[in-house]
Amino acid sequence: MKYRLTINNFRNEGYIIHKGVFLHPSVSTEEALNKSIYKYMRFEHLLNMLIRKKLYIANRHTFTDLVEKGYKSNLKYLFPMDCVHKNKKEKEELAKKRFNFNYEVYNSCISCWTYDEHNYGDAKANENYLMWKTYAYQNVGCRIETTLKELIENIQVPDEYDILISNVEYSTNEWIKGNPQKDIFTKSVYYRDEQEVRLCVLCQEEKILIDINPFSVIKKVIISPFIFEEFASIIIDGFKNKYKIPIEKSKIAENYK
């Protein structure tokens, strides 16, 4: 028995279609579409995007968060008690369908972005030190800026897969089973400072490359704070000479000298 996760599994969530992409109500307003979003990434991956004009989207199984992987401790929710009157064949078919459904959910491909707007009383910040530590501490990292509207209008949606975009919700209920919206777009409350908006491709590939026009998408690039000043200057000057995209060093005061 095959099972294919599609937009039909999300029909009760209020998704609308825009330029071939399905938008959750949390991101479908004009204000949300024009709000800046950011992606922290390795600088080499940015250069690869610019050269190949492809957006790399990884399978959830490559993530470190065990909830993303469908951690085995929640398997007990996959096998609720069945009615005793069901025969063996019906039970087997139901179990296969439930397994295939969860396999599809936890093998989807995800691209993670952030709003990166932080208000702490009178203090405001539009960079996240912990995100830099996660994505750029041991390598040359960067953060790219765009909007949802620019992202959607400059990617080529593959015919064979549905693409969904939604804000991520943060919950104390770590294991929420059976609802694909919650399974894909809910994370533990401990991650709430990520302020994630997530693009999900409903496919089972180890990774997927989507055609993109990066020069129309990327509004600005910021270089990691964990780079020596001289090296950062070399990177910025070289980038400016080759690409007409604004670029600057992080304003975080951890800058290396």
Instruction: Check whether 257 has a pLDDT greater than 60.
Output: no
* pLDDT tens digits, 130-139: 889 888 877 7
What's the pTM value of the predicted model, to 2 decimals? 0.86
Count of Cβ atoms closer than 10 Å to residue 219 Cβ? 14
Strand partners, 223: 142, 249
Q: Is residue 2 part of a domain?
A: no
The answer as to whether 148 is a domain residue is yes
Alpha helices by DSSP H, the chain: 30-33, 43-52, 88-105, 129-136, 148-153, 180-185, 214-217, 229-242
Query: Which of the four pLDDT bands, split at 50, 70 and 90, describes residue 76?
Result: very low
Q: Is residue 210 part of a domain?
A: yes
Taking the CA atoms of residue 103, residue 105, residue 111 and residue 117 in that order, the dihedral angle to the nearest 10 degrees is: -140
Asked if residue 131 is part of any domain, the answer here is yes
| 1 assigned to some structural domain | no
Q: State what percent of residues in the chain have pLDDT above 70.
A: 82
Q: Would you say residue 62 lies in a domain?
A: yes
Q: Which domain holds residue 70?
A: 7-249
174 pLDDT band (50/70/90 cuts)? low
pLDDT at 79 over 80: no
What is the tally of structural domains in the chain? 1
- The answer to whether position 256 is within a domain reads no
HSE, side-chain direction, 13 A CA sphere, residue 11: 4
Is residue 255 a part of any domain in this protein?
no
Q: What pLDDT is stored for residue 90 in this prediction? A: 72
